[in-house]
A and B are shown apart, each in its own frame.
Chain A
Amino acid sequence: MKRTALALALGGLFIAPAAQAQHSVASTFDAKLGGYVQLNTTWDSDENDDDNPSSMRKSAIKPGDPGQNQRTLRWTDTRTRLFLDVRGSELWGAKTRAYTEMDFDGLKLDETKGTTSASNANTPRLRRAYMRFDWTNTWALLGQQTLLFYDAVSPFGTTYIEGVASGRGGMTGGSRNRAPAFFAGHRLHFGGSTLEVIGSLARHTTDNEPAGGINDSGTRAERPAYETMVKYSMPLFGREALAAVSTYWGEEKLNNGAATAAALRTQKLRSVGTGLQGALPLGPVTPIGAFEVRGSWFRATNMSKWNLGSNASTANSTFSNIGLIQPVHAHGGWAEVNWQITPKYGLALGGGRARDDREDVRAIGGTSVKIQDNQGYWLMGTWQDGPWGFMAAISNVDTMWVQPNNNAETRNDSQEIHFVFRYSF
């Protein structure tokens, strides 16, 4: 009886205010279900057993590999995407939003470490899930979102194909570049110009090694990743030019994979990056369209997990040299010229490069060749009409490997053609 009374009392506490506020609350929420169905069809000049069919090839095939010249045509729908976008009532003067997004590009069969794969396995995956608060010029975000670092500008066709600037070409388009995080940003207006300052605390990605994995929650990072971005935009030719600088700092603790605490040896290793990004309109909008050049440059250490460079550290797979491991330094970037012919048609021509420091690569040691220099070039065209979208792209990836023990070089290239069909809803 008491329990019932308590339940009723508690229920009343919730029901009464709800009833009073029903008129306004009920009408202030707006929930939309959206996404798209997407088919990626990809032709490869050489068999590709590493990259997702909906991603651009990260590297060329090694010379002499059995897959060389084995042409393939791969199909996948796993990049099909669903989201639920809820806009709520104003809270403390802020517009509120809850966003949840998923696709079917999650954990591949028999792949517990989240390594990339050419598999067509279609496991659901949570891509983004966050709440966002927008005041007039200030915003805050809590939840899983794309990393702030190196995220100001991206290539033209990036929503059709991930990793457009090639997986090793310097763009954060990989599957693990979204992380739970706190974001806060503020915009300052100076006449027509805008300066935005953003900071973020995020989970530091620590996978790709023992105790890591695709389901990593940051187990080997004692501290969060600190990210900053300063973004400046100004009117130019009646359009907008943008420049941004961003930084990343994270620290993980590597271990030797020991079975007992007594045998455990650890070492901290930092991931540090600096990125410059920009977009520059090439003249005003003309009757034949609008031209723009976009680009990015980065300098990073131990950030291959973010596709910034090809090698993370000088560690070998057994961690025998814990305590002596050094991060691999890398630099690179991409540039692209866009021609938006009409609102429906667009073309883009671009190229990217990521280059690890040679001596760092050699310090890895061993006789297995390691990618040291990677370049990619692409030409793509898109057509968009209402919900319908189509993209065709041709790309070339040119890779150079180094054998650490003798500094010997090997080079090869591979080509891909992508056709992407999309229906958005």
Chain B
Amino acid sequence: MQKRFAAALLLLVGWCAAVGAEAPRLLVLPFELSAAQPQEYLRRAVPDVLANRIGQSRDVVVVPADVPAEALAGRSPFSAAVAQELGKARRADYVLSGRVTEIGKRFSVDAALFDVKSGALVERYSAEGGDLSELIPKLGEIGQSVRQSFAARASTAPAAAAPAPAAPPPAATAQAAPARKTWISKPLAVEIRGIAIGPVAERGRADIVVLTRQEVRVYRRRGEDLELVTRYAANRSVDNIGVDVADLDGDGLAEIYVTGAAPSNALASYVLRWNGSALQPLATAVPWHLRLVQLADGPALLGQARSFDKLFDGPIRRLAWRDGKLVAGDALPLPGHVTLYSFVVADVNGDGKQEVVSLQSRSPLMVYDLQGRVLASGAKYGQSAVYVEDKRANNDAQPEEAQLPGRLRAVTLPGNGLGFLAAQNQESIGVFYRARNFTGGNVVALRWQDDGLEEVWRTEQLAYVADFQVSELQPSGEPMLVIATVSDFEGMLSKPRSFLVVTPLGK
């Protein structure tokens, strides 16, 4: 019986983990009593014991059980409607309810776990024993199993972390990060080009903004589901190529900054914000590539121009709102080849000076000092399926196209200090300029080691990685790695399919 309980609870924990890596909120309801002579104190004592045992885990938050027994009077403890009603009232993600049955000298505890959002019955449990003197130990064992399962969830290697396959880093740096549960969304019938996370439609929430070629979509995770909050269709003449969110006006809601490539080698970027019921443009036809970058003095919105024959032309500048318009400010003193989308300024090697880590189209990862000297180079990262015209067609020369380099982020890697995250996509045949056939991708964590950036860990093999973000999806939650993958690209005869993958950042 204990094994069944343990297995069931493992499933429960796994499922809970799948719902989200932040601690789920669990409400334990008063148990119904069924006995020839019901002993009323058990109605309260059983859930109290369970809550106490389960609540010792840091990986689950037990909601105070302030539900009066009268609230359940005449209602089945196995009713999904009841679980949803009471769970929602107390902002719980799950509800555990049940019944204690006493027949003769034996008892049975039957319980059920419900998903508050969907009302689905997640799992049933049952245990039985001799006289009631065995009840508390049985409940204790259940609680213990729950704790152990949650603990196991938190300490197992992140599914997102498998050893680096090729050219493993030195043993001193290679780490088999603990396995953790990964949540994968339902398939989305779009080809994702970028993602961003922030409180777009509700203060304090972590909405997930998904960018496609023509649309901006805002999703929110509710339990296991991904709920579409709103969507915004861009100008048909514009191809969306990049997205970030930031609350630059300080109203508690993040604006969405979308870079749009327009005909004639122009940029027609735009900014959206939530007006209470929908996304509305705050600015349009902004002639800048846009990117939110973490600088030494905090996050900054940066821009870079485009010209007839250069996808990135001129210096990278700070952008700021002035009189309702985005205007360019100071140019950042960066090495000349650094382009907007993929760079980080940080003390990479711990020498007390700032260095620049940069991803550029068709180049390996580069580390420069601020004078532009190359300090190190690495493998190739940030391969992307987004092509943008780099140079116009001229006379009989076809236009040149550039792969938009993928995102590069500096993060604090648990147990490893300052690190960098980048996507690495693999191709079946990587020799062709335009015809790309991505077979999969990973997000790779890097950190400075000796005289270069070495891999610390990489996620398990996913589909093509379109973009990623690191975010605390829940307030005071642990940092999560949110990855947008594309398993099917949009084509003349094929429908697109993408997924969002959420995994703890891990070590």
Q: Within the assembled complex, what's the spacing in Å between the Cα atoms of A233 and B313?
A: 12
A256 in contact (CB, < 8 A): no
Interface residue? B297 (CB, 8 A): no
Q: Which of B138-146, B265-273, B406-414, B415-423 contacts A (4 or more CB under 8 A)?
A: B265-273
**A34-B434, A238-B285, A238-B286 given; A137·B336 CB < 8 A:** yes
Q: A287-B236, A290-B237, A290-B263 are in contact. Are A194 and B307 (CB under 8 A)?
A: yes
Q: Are A28 and B315 in contact (CB under 8 A)?
A: no
Nearest chain B CB to A89's CB is how many angstroms away? Answer: 8
Q: Establish whether residues A386 and B394, one from each chain, have CB atoms under 8 Å apart when the complex forms.
A: no
Contact A290-B266, Cβ < 8 Å, known A28-B377, A242-B308, A386-B491: yes
Of A113-121, A209-217, A341-349, the stretch lying at the interface with chain B is: A341-349
A287 proximity list for chain B (CB < 8 A)? 235-237
Bound Cα distance from A238 to B286, whole angstroms: 7
Contact, CB under 8 Å: B432 / A425? yes
C-beta contact mask, A271-289 vs B, less than 8 Å → 1, else 0? Answer: 0000000010100111111
- Cβ of B379: which chain A residues have Cβ within 8 Å of it? 27
**Cross-chain contact A33 with B431 (CB below 8 angstroms):** yes
Query: Given contacts A286-B237, A387-B435, are A159 and B285 in contact (CB under 8 A)?
Result: no
Given contacts A192-B305, A338-B264, contact A158 B431 (CB under 8 A): no
CB contact list, A35-69 vs B, under 8 A: 35-36
**B380-A27 in contact (CB<8A):** yes
Q: From residue B151, how far is it (CB to closest CB) to chain A in Å?
A: 41
Q: Tell me the complex Cα distance, A387–B398, Å.
A: 13
Query: Within 8 Å CB of B262, what residues of A?
Result: 238-239, 285, 290
Which residues of chain B are within 8 angstroms of A36 by Cβ–Cβ distance? 398
Closest A residue to B431 by beta carbon equals A33
Q: Which residues of B contact A285 (CB under 8 A)?
A: 235, 237-238, 262-263, 266, 268, 285
A398 interfacial by beta-carbon distance below 8 Å:
no
Contact indicator per residue, chain A 144-188, by CB within 8 Å of chain B (1) or not (0): 001000011110001100100000000111000100000000000
**Across the interface, do B395 and A151 meet the contact criterion of CB distance under 8 Å?**
yes
A90 close to B (CB within 8 Å): yes
A87 adjacent to chain B (CB < 8 Å): yes
A357 part of interface (Cβ distance < 8 Å)? no
Instruction: Please state if B395 and A172 are interface contacts (CB–CB under 8 Å).
Output: yes
User: What chain A residues lie within 8 Å of B336 (beta carbons)?
Assistant: 93, 135-137
B450 CB → nearest A CB, Å: 11
Residue of B nearest to A175 (CB): B396
Residues of chain A with a CB closer than 8 A to B435's CB: 387, 424-425
- Decide: B237 and A27 in contact? CB cutoff 8 A: no
* Interfacial chain B residues near A289, Cβ < 8 Å: 236-237, 263
Across-interface contacts of A32 in B (CB, < 8 A): 362, 431-433
A12 on the B face (CB < 8 A): no
Inter-chain contact A238/B433, CB cutoff 8 Å = no
Residues on A with C-beta less than 8 A from B491 are 386
Given contacts A33-B431, A233-B307, contact A159 B396 (CB under 8 A): yes
Contact B395 A136 (CB under 8 A): no
Interface residues of A in 390-418 (CB under 8 A from B): none
With a CB–CB cut-off of 8 A, which chain A residues contact B337? Answer: 90, 95, 136
From residue A47, how far is it (CB to closest CB) to chain B in Å? 25
**Which among A31, A154, A238 is the interface contact of B268 at CB below 8 angstroms?**
A238
A366 is an interface residue with CB less than 8 A from chain B: no
Q: What CA separation (Å) do A128 and B397 show in the bound complex? A: 9
Chain A contacts of B235 at CB under 8 A? 285-287
**Interface residue total, chain A, C-beta cutoff 8 A:** 68
Answer yes or no: B287 CB below 8 A from chain A CBs.
yes
Asked whether A27 lies within 8 Å of B266 as measured between CB atoms, the reply is no
Q: Which residue of B lies closest to A94 (CB)?
A: B337
Q: Within the complex, what minimum Cβ distance (angstroms) separates B133 from chain A?
A: 69
A129 nearest CB across to chain B (Å): 13
Please tell me if the beta carbons of A281 and B264 are within 8 angstroms of each other in the complex: yes
Cα–Cα, bound, A194→B305 (Å): 11
CA distance A136 to B314 in the complex (A): 9
Q: Considering the chains assembled together, what is the distance between the CA atoms of A162 and B372 in angstroms? A: 41
Determine the chain B residues whose CB is within 8 A of the CB of A71 once the complex forms. none
Which chain A residues numbered 312 to 366 have a C-beta less than 8 Å away from chain B? 338, 340-343, 346
Distance (whole angstroms) from the CB of A168 to the closest CB of chain B: 16
Q: Bound state CA distance, A127 and B315, in angstroms?
A: 34
* B102 CB contacts on chain A under 8 angstroms: none
Partner of A154, one of B307, B393, B492: B393
Chain A min CB distance to B89 (Å): 46
Assess the A240–B307 pair: CB atoms within 8 A.
yes
For the complex, is B67 an interface residue (Cβ under 8 Å from A)? no
Q: Write out the residue numbers on chain B whose beta carbons fall within 8 Å of the beta carbon of A385.
A: 492
Q: Does A111 contact B (CB under 8 A)?
A: no
**Given A173-B396, A281-B264, A342 and B305 touching (CB < 8 A)?**
no
The complex places the Cα of A34 from the Cα of B268 at a distance, in Å, of 29
Q: Chain B contacts of A281 at CB under 8 A?
A: 264, 266
A137 to B492 CA separation, bound complex (whole angstroms) = 40
- A24 CB-CB contact with B under 8 Å: yes
Query: Taking the complex as formed, is B363 at the interface, i.e. its CB lies under 8 A from any CB of chain A?
Result: yes
**What are 8 contact pairs spanning A and B, CB under 8 A?**
A24-B376, A31-B431, A34-B434, A192-B287, A238-B268, A238-B285, A239-B264, A424-B435
Q: List the 10 closest A-B pairs by CB distance, nearest first.
A: A136-B336, A34-B433, A340-B263, A425-B435, A32-B433, A239-B266, A290-B263, A238-B285, A285-B262, A238-B287
Contacts beyond the supplied A154-B395, A286-B237, A287-B237: 9 A-B pairs with Cβ under 8 Å: A28-B363, A30-B362, A34-B434, A93-B372, A158-B395, A192-B287, A240-B306, A387-B435, A388-B492
By a beta-carbon cutoff of 8 Å, the part of chain B in contact with chain A is 235-239, 261-268, 285-287, 305-308, 313-315, 328, 336-337, 362-364, 366, 372, 374, 376-380, 393-399, 431-435, 452, 491-492
Which residues of A come within 8 Å of B, CB atoms? 23-24, 27-28, 30-36, 81, 83, 85, 87, 89-90, 93, 95, 127-128, 135-137, 146, 151-154, 158-159, 162, 171-173, 177, 189, 192, 194, 233, 235, 237-240, 242, 279, 281, 284-290, 292, 338, 340-343, 346, 385-388, 424-425
